[in-house]
Amino acid sequence: MLEFLLGCAIAIVFVLVMATMIHWIVHIYTVIDENTTYGYAGYRKFMKQFNKTKWFYSESFRWSLFGKEGFSVRVRKDDIFASNIKFNSNGMIINNPFSFLLVRLYVVNYIRKNHLVKKDKAERKNRVLNKWY
């Protein structure tokens, strides 16, 4: 029984690591393909650049953020969109899969705390209960 549980745990960890690796590789190719200039950075450098930017959110692109010019502009200087991370019109490739996982988790939590929670509170406040007769 113990061997079975250990085997299951190893299989689950393997699947999670492979999923993160695949997403990271897609991130690398997306940044290279979408940007004429790009560089490499880790989690700390990402956080420095992220905190310098005022971010906007669009419900149409749930897990994406856009810089001060918003989504409506054709060419955006800052955005986090479809695995493409861009600051000051330069793509940022995250160095390793672990840092990329930390970046993705931070962006998701940022969106949840700063955008989705406000929307949910507003919806609850304006919700009208239906009366069933």
Strands 65-66 and 84-87, by their bridges, are unpaired
Show Cβ contacts of residue 72 under 8 Å, excluding neighbours closer than 6 positions: none
3-class DSSP assignment, residue 36 = coil
From the list 87, 58, 85, the residue with the least C-alpha distance to 70 is 58
Mean pLDDT for the stretch of residues 44-59: 91
Retrieve residue 116's tokens. Answer: 């989705």
Retrieve residue 109's tokens. Answer: 């939590």
Q: What percent of the chain has pLDDT over 70?
A: 82
How far apart (Å, rounded) are the C-alpha atoms in residues 7 and 20?
Answer: 20
Q: What percent of the chain has pLDDT over 90?
A: 57
Q: φ and ψ at 85, to 5 degrees?
A: -110, 125
How far apart (Å, rounded) are the C-alpha atoms in residues 89 and 75?
Answer: 9
Comparing 102 with 77, the larger pLDDT belongs to 102
Are the C-beta atoms of 97 and 20 separated by less than 8 Å?
yes
Mean pLDDT for the stretch of residues 19-46: 94
Domain boundaries, given as residue ranges, for the chain: 2-124
pLDDT band at 57 (very low <50, low <70, confident <90, very high): confident
